[in-house]
Structure 1
Amino acid sequence: MSATPPLRRGWTTGACATAATRAAVEGLWTGHIPDAVTIRLPRGETPSFSITEATLGVGWAEAAVVKDAGDDPDVTHGATIRVRVRAAPGGVTFRAGDGVGHVTKPGLPIAVGEPAINPVPRAMMDEAVAEAAALFARTPDVEITVSIPGGAAIAEKTWNPRLGIAGGLSILGTTGIVRPFSCAAWIASIHRGIDVARADGLTHVAGCTGATSERVVQSLHGLPDHAMLDMGDFAGGMLKYLARHPIDRVTVGGGVGKLAKLAQGAVDLHSARSQVDFARLSDWAGQDLTDCNTTLEAATRVPDLPARIASEARVRVLGMIDAEVDIVVIDRAGTVLAHATA
């Protein structure tokens, strides 16, 4: 049997924007936009990028790179990252073009009103301009406008609307590299959601395992969108951050199976990384449930079991954070099976 090939890495929107910037600024200063450019990533790697669009105008130049996210299921894979540069005094400045958002809420690493181009991509583009300026004996005074055609529609599939990034996507990346199926990006999004909630003065947030539990919890408590943290399987990533960046009240919502794992001490709730202990469920229920295939089957057999799961999960969460905590356990249809508040 042949070995499974390794998953292919890709490039962040920040790396693509930097490559397009490097090509466009060369076009601005020489009248020729190269077919490919090499850039330096924050950790020293020097990948090359093909330039898929090249346009010269009076006092400006524009280049584009098509994002390759490798084997990661990234919603921006295949998107065109287009950069226009023009001479402008005052060093390097940034503008959001079509499909790139603006920051509208505090708590993100970019100030309110600024284009949603994160600090590391800005530094990468600064460096690319400086290197080109030294090479071509120019002054690095340029305005960089980043656009992503169709970015506003793509952004609806991301956390951006909830985080207060309006009008499009963010230009992201701390290393320039997209690592396939990495948990880091999801956990980082949870952290940014907490930052935004705190900066907006929210006193109650909710982390849920999926869309159904999120809908139920949001309706139950009347919470705004930006109070809802897309916890998914990453209970530990959310709770550890909340321990360091507290909010007064935290609700955790999810299906009976995932919350049973949380109740039993798991903080990564993915099926590949934690399992329900049915012997322990049996102890909680006072009868043998080891022949059950699922926690939901066990809960159907013992109607009081979800309440015990909710109570035990609440104890676990209270052991990790200093907050008022409630736990909402649902079934697949979204019916609340238990709600532990004290």
Structure 2
Amino acid sequence: MRYGWTTGACATAATTAAYTALLTGEFPDPVEVLLPKDRRPSFALATERLEPGRATAGVIKDAGDDPDVTHGALVLATVSPGEPGSGVTFRAGEGVGTVTLPGLPLAVGEPAINPVPRRLMTEAVRRVAAEHGGTGDVVVEISIPDGEEIARQTWNPRLGIVGGLSILGTTGVVVPYSCSAWIDSIRRGVDVARALGHRHVAGATGSTSEHVVAELYGLPETALLDMGDFAGAVLKYLKRHPVPRLTLGGGFAKFSKLAAGHLDLHSQRSQVDLRLLASLVPEPLASSIASANTALHALELAQAAGVPLGDLVAERARAVAAEVLAGAPIEVDVVVVDRAGTIVGRAG
């Protein structure tokens, strides 16, 4: 599948082109940038604007074949002279967020431009300055038109990043369906929760289970981790960065997979094991569940027989989670819900 480029790589390309134009009066198009692992991609410019004392260049983000909400977004960099000796100063323009909560790798009040993109842009400014006789003292303002609207589809509001998107990337490359951005958001969610002093966090597979768990325990939004299918990502990061209590909430089918030892709950990467579900209950119910059509069908059969299969799955899922967390000072409980949001199983 086709790889793409991060917002950080696009911002670096736009910054390189804008600063070059500020010093020379001409925009390089395409503009080559240097990324980690000695990658040297070239980016076509979508916007060029040279004004007295400032230059703006824009690059359209191409996320390749990854289902990235920022695919097609215009990433703009406006470069203007800074105070002598100031180096590179970053500002958030339209559609780029500002950090308002602790726990992120940026100070509160800073533009949501992550450390690696900052380093890439700073290095690009130095190279351009060396080539064209500049000082390297500049103000770089990154903007993404419609970024505030796009950001509503991301974790940014929950992480306390207000006003727009984050400029992200560690390698500059978007790997299709790597899900690295989601997992990174889970980690940042844990960091923010810890920084805010939360002693109880919850990871949920979807909005229904998240709502149930939040209501059940009165948890604030900043204590909620959008786990999705990445149970392993939540558990492994919390093992290294523990909080006293973790609640896992999810649907019966998803947690049937966790009960079987799967840490990635996506339908393309793990399947419900009806034989495992059957092994949890006595005959003749076991035979019926072994030949059930779906996990939901198995649950309905058990409910009709008065057997608490939801609790049994919750207990087994909790045991798997505890095994991953072994040695970490974390108490775990599990809440299993059906599609209507009714609790059908609990453990811990």
Deviation of 1:73 after TM superposition, in Å, equals 0.7
Deviations 1:238-283 (A, max 9, x none): 1011111101110101111111111121111112222222222112
Match of 2:65 in 1: 71
Is residue 2:192 matched to residue 1:196?
yes
Partner SS, residue 319 of structure 1: helix
Separation in 2, partners of 1:27, 1:73? 33
Separation in 2, partners of 1:13, 1:327? 37
Is residue 2:44 matched to residue 1:50?
yes
Deviations 1:198-227 (A, max 9, x none): 011111111111121112111211111111
Partner of residue 318 from structure 1, selected from 290, 297, 322: 322
Deviation of 1:308 after TM superposition, in Å, equals 0.7
1:56 maps to a residue whose letter is L
Separation in 1, partners of 2:254, 2:132? 58
Is residue 2:235 matched to residue 1:228?
no
Structure 2 matches for 1:134-283, cutoff 5 A? 134-283=130-279
Partner SS, residue 285 of structure 1: coil
Structure 2 matches for 1:27-42, cutoff 5 A? 27-42=21-36
Deviations 1:286-312 (A, max 9, x none): 122111011111111112111111111
Separation in 1, partners of 2:309, 2:69? 39
Partner SS, residue 37 of structure 2: coil
Partner SS, residue 49 of structure 2: strand
Match of 2:107 in 1: 111
Deviation of 1:166 after TM superposition, in Å, equals 0.8
Select between 332-341 and 316-325 the one with higher mean Cα deviation. Answer: 316-325
Deviation of 1:197 after TM superposition, in Å, equals 0.6
Deviation of 1:34 after TM superposition, in Å, equals 2.5
Partner SS, residue 161 of structure 1: coil
1:81 maps to a residue whose letter is V
Q: TM-score, normalised by structure 1?
A: 0.96
Deviation of 1:323 after TM superposition, in Å, equals 1.4
Match of 1:300 in 2: 300
Separation in 1, partners of 2:258, 2:173? 32
1:84 maps to a residue whose letter is T
Separation in 2, partners of 1:280, 1:30? 68
Separation in 2, partners of 1:280, 1:52? 55
Deviations 1:31-80 (A, max 9, x none): 12223210000111100001111111111111111111111111111111
Match of 2:341 in 1: 334
Partner of residue 8 from structure 2, selected from 14, 35, 53: 14
Q: Percent identity?
A: 58
Select between 43-52 and 312-321 the one with higher mean Cα deviation. Answer: 312-321
2:274 maps to a residue whose letter is F
Ranges in structure 2 where 5+ consecutive residues have no aligned partner: none
Separation in 1, partners of 2:77, 2:272? 50
Separation in 1, partners of 2:266, 2:96? 33
Deviations 1:106-137 (A, max 9, x none): 11111111000001101110111111111111
Equivalent pairs, count: 335
2:3 maps to a residue whose letter is R
Match of 1:4 in 2: none
Partner SS, residue 95 of structure 1: strand
Match of 1:3 in 2: none
2:79 maps to a residue whose letter is V
